[in-house]
Amino acid sequence: MSSVHPESLLAEVAALPSLPGVYRYFDAEDQVLYVGKARNLKKRVSSYFQKDHGGTRIGHMISKIRRMQTTVVRSEAEALLLENNLIKTLSPKFNILFRDDKSYPYLKVSGTGVVHPNKPSANVGGVDKIVVKADDYSRIAYYRGGVEKKHRYFGPYPSAWAVKETIQLLQKVFRLRTCEDTVFSNRTRPCLLYQIKRCSGPCVSAVSVAQYAQDVAQAEAFLRGETQAVLKAMEARMMAHSDKLEFELAAEVRNQMTALSRVLHQQSVDNVSDTDVDILAVKVQGGRACVNLAMVRGGRHLGDRPYFPTHVEDGHAMLNQALEDDVSTVSQTLEVKVLEAFIAQHYLSIPVPAALITSEKIDRKVLDAVTLQSGIKVNAVHNPREQRRSWLEMAEKNAAIQLARLLAEEGSQQARTRALVEALDLTPDDMDTLRMECFDISHTSGEATQASCVVFQNHKMQNSEYRRYKIEGITLGDDYAAMRQVLMRRYGKVAEAMKSGQSDLKLRMPDLVLIDGGKGQVSMAREVFEALGLDLALIVGVEKGEGRKVGLEELVFADGRDKVYLGKDSAALMLIAQVRDEAHRFAITGMRAQRAKVRVGGGRLEEIAGIGPKKRAKLLQRFGGVRGVENASVEDLMSVDGVSRELAESIYQALH
């Protein structure tokens, strides 16, 4: 095995220290193959090059190694953290890899939570008038993104639905506002939410600052799981109102308590000590795996979310090799390794609760590494009882259901890919990596013309590789010229790289180029490919059938082959229609956004120095559109939060 590796690499391996650390393997294209950790770098890395691994997955990987990097650390815990940071950053082919999920939503409570009992007032006509400020009344809102210290955040939640359900609950029980600050500051009478008792009407001073702050504090205590303390505080408020003969106010508090008790009963949380818990269940089948994460926050079960790692079989083979090299480590099942990989990677960027309930027993070293990363002592229970047992059983059932669904979908997509390869007599190097790129042109009577390119590979649409092209310098409505322009821009550099003999994975031709159109568009594509010296057999046009009915499409070829009708029940046609429809959807949404920008004129604001998306949105909301901004004076513009006099003058001059 060592004969295929450079002498410099083998010398580097021989010189490694016997210390804990992390190693990375790279291939001839300088693509990362594998990231691993080791208690003893020299022993672990040497074992890969000293043994004969034959035609195994490990042998296949080792034969590709051309370069190596290592990093020495102080402990195994540090090695584990660095390993998983690198796995998430580099996405190596032979590691069990979970997609980095930054889409977790939070519930945001605006403001610092500080109560200002002495509200400022303004003297109007000799009468003191209360000045209502949005900052004095915290707002609850659905939120994604980076956190700010001046606000409070609760979560993360497994889904947007879970956040919105919680907001509705807080509106019913604590009657907190959800309106934007700009709306709040410009109201002269209460909105519909006040009428249906979903808001206490702070915008019109229907509730005092101190009372509203108390409602906010109780809502936050409820979100933290302090439900019994909240109920006792509400009961004390009710009795205090009753003693003062304020029976209407006492009845309102009683109704709040009833609503809160009903919610707690519906949640069926018997073990109130479990305020924040994550339940993790893993299921492995057919070379794929699913980790189902269920969340309990503030004592409420908020729902779950499935995760599907990639490279499961390759990663498992590499992990088995690591276990063989370290005889002190007990052999572990694939389920355990997948779950440990999830915990190590997931909680690098997501807050971790102190308690985890897992379907498999987790190595203490993994939990210690998460503890080191988060600063929170993390414990895991894999054989829970009572309420925790029911949570885990539910998570295990959902993991099995989600994995079965994934396998069924993948089986269907693979069958469609296979049918397409056979129908068009394609010869891809690997059917699993068959790549299609589909183009579509979209505009409205020539306005805001855009071209879209969507990518299908590995039996699914690759959203991250979608591209939109703004088409300029053509006659309005000339779809052929638009197609010429997008194909030249897309494949011009690829053709140059091929002619110069460059090998770049980012500059490669697909196995199939789909054109949403008939003979005319295909002819234009043929001219472009001929000019670039590319293979005409790659071009396939999707021509609409009689009456433009779905299932009657015919395929048009650029290399002179006759039209082909695959049949409305053809799996190959279903795949082509799926990709074509996705290209159309992607093109038309981009075109509509561009058209709206052109018509409304919102883009003119962002062209002004100092105006970004947030300030643009505030201006448009405050004045009802660009025309309102144009009609506003400098003083009016200064009334918008974040707009100084200098910026207001710049806006006024730019729009006039």
Higher per-residue confidence, 194 vs 655: 194
Q: Which residues pair with 227 in a beta bridge?
A: none
Same domain, 619 and 554: no
Q: Is the confidence at residue 269, as pLDDT, over 60?
A: no
CA distance 47 to 64: 16
Question: Residue 30, Cβ neighbours under 10 Å: how many?
Answer: 8
156 preceded by cis ω (within 30°)? yes
Lowest mean pLDDT among 488-502, 507-521, 624-638: 624-638
DSSP state of 609: T
pLDDT for 123: 40
* Residue 351 located in a structural domain: yes
- Residue 97 contacts residue 346 (beta carbons within 8 Å): no
Q: Do 463 and 565 have their domain in common?
A: yes
For residue 128, give the H/E element and its range.
strand 127-130
Same domain for 444 and 377: no
Beta strands in 140-243 (DSSP E): 140-143, 152-154
Q: In this predicted structure, what is the pLDDT of residue 650?
A: 81
Task: Say if CB 166 and CB 204 are below 8 A apart.
Answer: no
Tokens (6 digits) for 394? 């539910």
Tell me the pLDDT of the chain averaged across its residues.
82
313 part of a folded domain: no
Cis peptide before 510 (omega within 30 of 0): no
Q: Which pLDDT value is given to residue 466? A: 93
What is the end-to-end Cα distance of the chain in Å, rounded? 74
Determine, yes or no, domain membership for 369.
Answer: yes
Q: Which range is most confident: 201-205, 268-272, 607-611?
A: 201-205
Q: Is the pLDDT confidence value at 484 over 90?
A: yes
CATH number of the domain at 612, please: 1.10.150.20
Could you please report the per-residue DSSP string of 169-182?
A: HHHHHH--B-S-HH
pLDDT at position 270 is 43
Same domain, 227 and 283: no
Q: How far apart are CA 392 and CA 494, in angstroms?
A: 51
Q: Which residues pair with 279 in a beta bridge?
A: 294, 357
Domain of 17, CATH number, reads 3.40.1440.10
Cα 261 to Cα 471: distance, rounded to the nearest angstrom = 59
Give the three-state DSSP class for 539: strand
Give pLDDT, residue 439: 94
Asked whether residue 197 carries a pLDDT value surpassing 70, the answer given is: yes
pLDDT at 6: 80
Calculate what percentage of the chain has a pLDDT beyond 90: 22
Give the other-Cβ count within 10 Å of 553's Cβ: 21
Please give the C-alpha separations between residue 149 and each of 65, 138, 328, in angstroms, as whole numbers.
46, 14, 45
Question: Can you give the pLDDT at residue 130?
Answer: 53
User: Quick check: is 47 in a domain?
Assistant: yes
Same domain, 281 and 141: no
> In the structure, what pLDDT confidence band is assigned to residue 324 with cuts at 50, 70 and 90?
low
* 167 vs 315: which has the higher pLDDT: 167
* pLDDT of residue 598 exceeding 50: no
- The neighbour count for residue 319, using CB atoms within 10 Å, is 21
Q: In Å, how far from its chain's centre is CA 529?
A: 37
In the block, tokens 């906010």 appear at 216
> Which residue, 560, 591, 622, sits at the end of a domain?
591
Q: How far is CA 605 from CA 135, 629, 650, in A?
A: 27, 9, 10
Instruction: Examine the domain organization and report whether 63 and 140 are in the same domain.
Output: no
User: Long-range CB contacts (< 8 A, 24+ apart) of 358-362?
Assistant: 358/279, 358/280, 358/281, 358/382, 358/392, 359/280, 359/281, 359/282, 359/335, 359/392, 359/395, 359/396, 359/399, 360/282, 360/333, 360/335, 360/336, 361/336, 362/336
Residues 445 and 567 in one domain: yes
Q: Is 34 part of any domain? A: yes
For range 583-593, the mean pLDDT: 80
* pLDDT for res 427: 79
Q: Which amino acid is at 391?
A: W
What is residue 128's predicted lDDT score, i.e. its pLDDT? 44
pLDDT score for 274: 61
Lowest mean pLDDT among 51-60, 72-81, 477-486: 51-60
Confidence grade of residue 490 (pLDDT, cut at 50, 70, 90): very high
Tens of pLDDT, residue by residue over 502-542, are 766 567 889 999 998 888 999 999 999 999 999 999 999 99
**In this model, does residue 316 exceed pLDDT 70?**
no
Neighbours of 16 (CB within 10 A): 20
- Residue 161 CA to residue 163 CA, distance in Å, equals 5
What is the residue whose two structure tokens read 């019913």? 172
Residue 162 confidence (pLDDT) above 90 = no
Tell me the mean pLDDT in the region 618-622.
Answer: 79
Percent of the chain with pLDDT over 70: 85
The per-residue DSSP string of 52-97 comes to --TTSHHHHHHTT--EEEEEE-SSHHHHHHHHHHHHHHH--TTS-B
Q: Measuring CA to CA, how many Å separate 426 from each of 245, 439, 530, 579?
A: 85, 20, 20, 17
Say if 418 falls within a structural domain.
no
Residues 441 and 426: their CA atoms lie apart, in Å, by: 26
Q: Which two tokens stand for residue 385?
A: 């009882």
Beta carbons within 8 Å of 524's beta carbon, 6+ residues apart: 480, 483, 484, 487
Q: What is each CA distance from 248 to 205, 209, 252, 262, 570, in whole angstroms?
A: 18, 20, 6, 21, 69
Q: How long, in residues, is the chain?
A: 656
238-242, 436-440, 467-471, range with greatest mean pLDDT: 436-440
Mean per-residue pLDDT for 593-597?
59
Q: Do 291 and 387 reside in the same domain of the chain?
A: yes
Say how many C-beta atoms besides its own lie within 10 A of residue 88's C-beta.
19
Evaluate if residue 293 carries a pLDDT over 90: yes
pTM score of the predicted model: 0.67
Residues 158-182 as b or e (16 or more Cβ within 10 Å = b): bbeebbebbbebbbbbbbbbbbebe
pLDDT at 623 over 50: yes
Q: Would you state the structure tokens that stand for residue 409, as one six-digit string?
A: 């979908």
Going by pLDDT thresholds of 50, 70 and 90, the confidence category of residue 600 is very low
Structure tokens at 25: 């393997």
Lowest mean pLDDT: which of 135-149, 333-347, 523-537? 135-149
607: nearest Cα among 655, 552, 536, 538: 655
Beta strands in 208-275 (DSSP E): none
Assigned token pair, 294: 């269920």
The predicted pLDDT at position 53 comes to 66
Q: How many domains does the chain have?
A: 5
Strand ranges for 136-262 from DSSP E: 140-143, 152-154
C-beta neighbour count of 299 within 10 angstroms:
23
Query: What's the pLDDT at 129?
Result: 46
pLDDT over 50 (residue 121): no
* Structure-token pair, residue 527: 């001219």
Q: Please report, for residues 56, 216, 322, the alpha-carbon distance to residue 331 in angstroms, rounded to integers and kept in the order given.
A: 19, 51, 10
pLDDT of 4 higher than 80: no
Alpha helices (H) in 424-510, listed in sequence order:
479-500
For residues 365 and 289, membership in a common domain is answered with: yes
Are residues 462 and 524 located together in one domain of the fold?
yes
Question: Does the residue 552 lie in any domain?
Answer: yes
Q: Are residues 448 and 538 in the same domain?
A: yes
Q: What is the pLDDT of residue 132?
A: 66
| 494 within a domain of the structure (yes/no) | yes
Q: What is the pLDDT of residue 280?
A: 95
Beta partners for residue 295, in sequence order: 278, 303
Query: What mean pLDDT comes out for the span 275-293?
Result: 90
Read off the pLDDT of each residue in 551-580 and give the average, rounded to a whole number: 87
CATH number, domain with residue 527: 3.30.420.340
Same domain? For 587 and 447 the reply is yes
Letter for the amino acid at 487?
A: L
**Predicted pLDDT at 224:** 81
Q: Which domain holds residue 393?
A: 276-297+337-404
Residue 208, amino acid: S
Structure tokens at 642: 């974040």
- Residue 358 in this model has a pLDDT that exceeds 90: yes
Asked if residue 182 lies in contact with residue 618, where contact means CB atoms within 8 angstroms, the answer is yes
User: Is the pLDDT score of 117 beyond 60?
Assistant: no
